[in-house]
Every structure is written in structure tokens, then in C-alpha cells.
């Protein structure tokens, strides 16, 4: 008999089921207070970087352009994938500082050499930076 009712009146049964669940138990959607509480758990950090300082005291246009390219990489590409460099300062910042201190040619060579050294295979060659797990390798 039950099977007959189900086959004959499926929509009515479905409606009956939905209505009974609605009135028999308390169902809540999120209130604005709940959303505010949840938003505190997942704080969005605004990506603010002050790269203007790297453009100061550039001695020529070529230096300015190369600094700009590295800053562009740092702001648009590197910012999306997290910090993977084993050194402090990171390889891009190191290259920018090397270009400023040593000129574009030597600075780029220094930066490329730094890229090939950017691994955890030689910890005995570098001190650790403050309380972090990063190797300290500044431009000299």
C-alpha cells in the first residue's frame, strides 16, 4: 500500500516531507553576526610593498630599468607563490642591491651566481639570519 501511495503521489509526499522538516526542527542560515565572526578567522592580508626605495639613487637609466624589471617580478609573480628562497635577503632583492652597489654588469653576474647557490646543500658556508631558518648572505 505504501508503494502505491509513493508511486501515485510523489510530489505531494515530497512537499509533505519538506514542510514537516521545516516545522519540526530549527534550521538556521548564517546571520550577519556569524559572518563577522568567520571573517575574523580568515584575515585577508593586503599585499603592501614599498619598492619605491629601490628606485632611489639609481645612477643611470639602465640600472633603473633592470631594477624595475626585478620589482615587477617581485610584485606580480613572486608575491603569488610564497617565499621559497633559502637566503636573506631573497635572490631578487639581492640582485637589486647588487646592481645598485656594483653596477649593472657585475650586479647581474652576482645575482645569477646567487641563483645557482640558492639551495640548502651548503649550510656550513652561511650563518643563520636572526631567529629565522634563512641563511644570511648580504651583498658585500
Q: Do residues 91 and 117 touch, judged by C-beta distance below 8 A?
A: no
Query: DSSP for 63-130?
Result: HHHHHHHHHHIIIIIIHHH----SEES-HHHHHHHHHHHH-HHHHHHHHHHHHHH-SSS-GGGS-B-T
Nearer to another protein, 74 or 117 (CB): 117
CB of 116 to another protein, least distance (A): 5
Q: How far is the CB of 57 from another protein (least distance, A)?
A: 23
> Which lies closer to another protein via its Cβ, residue 83 or residue 122?
122
Nearer to another protein, 39 or 122 (CB): 122
First-residue to last-residue Cα distance in the chain:
90
| Cell numbers that stand for 131 in this block | 631567529
Q: Which is nearer to another protein, 47 or 120 (CB)?
A: 120
Contact set with another protein (CB under 8 A): 106, 108-113, 115-117, 119, 121-122, 125
Q: How far apart are CA 11 and CA 113, in angstroms?
A: 73
Maximum Cα–Cα distance across the chain: 93
- Least separation, in Å, of the C-beta of 78 and another protein? 19
CB of 125 to another protein, least distance (A): 7
Amino acid at each position: 500500500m505504501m508503494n502505491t501511495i509513493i508511486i501515485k503521489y510523489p510530489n505531494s509526499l515530497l512537499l509533505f516531507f519538506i514542510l514537516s522538516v521545516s516545522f519540526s526542527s530549527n534550521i538556521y542560515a548564517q546571520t550577519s553576526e556569524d559572518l563577522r565572526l568567520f571573517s575574523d578567522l580568515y584575515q585577508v592580508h593586503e599585499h603592501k610593498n614599498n619598492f619605491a626605495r629601490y628606485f632611489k639613487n639609481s645612477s643611470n637609466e639602465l640600472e633603473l630599468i633592470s631594477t624595475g624589471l626585478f620589482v615587477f617580478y617581485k610584485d606580480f609573480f613572486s608575491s603569488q607563490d610564497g617565499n621559497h628562497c633559502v637566503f636573506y635577503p631573497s635572490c631578487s632583492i639581492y640582485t637589486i642591491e647588487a646592481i645598485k652597489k656594483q653596477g649593472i654588469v657585475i650586479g647581474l653576474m652576482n645575482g645569477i651566481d646567487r641563483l645557482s647557490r640558492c639551495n640548502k646543500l651548503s649550510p656550513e658556508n652561511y650563518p643563520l639570519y636572526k631567529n629565522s631558518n634563512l641563511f644570511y648572505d648580504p651583498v658585500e
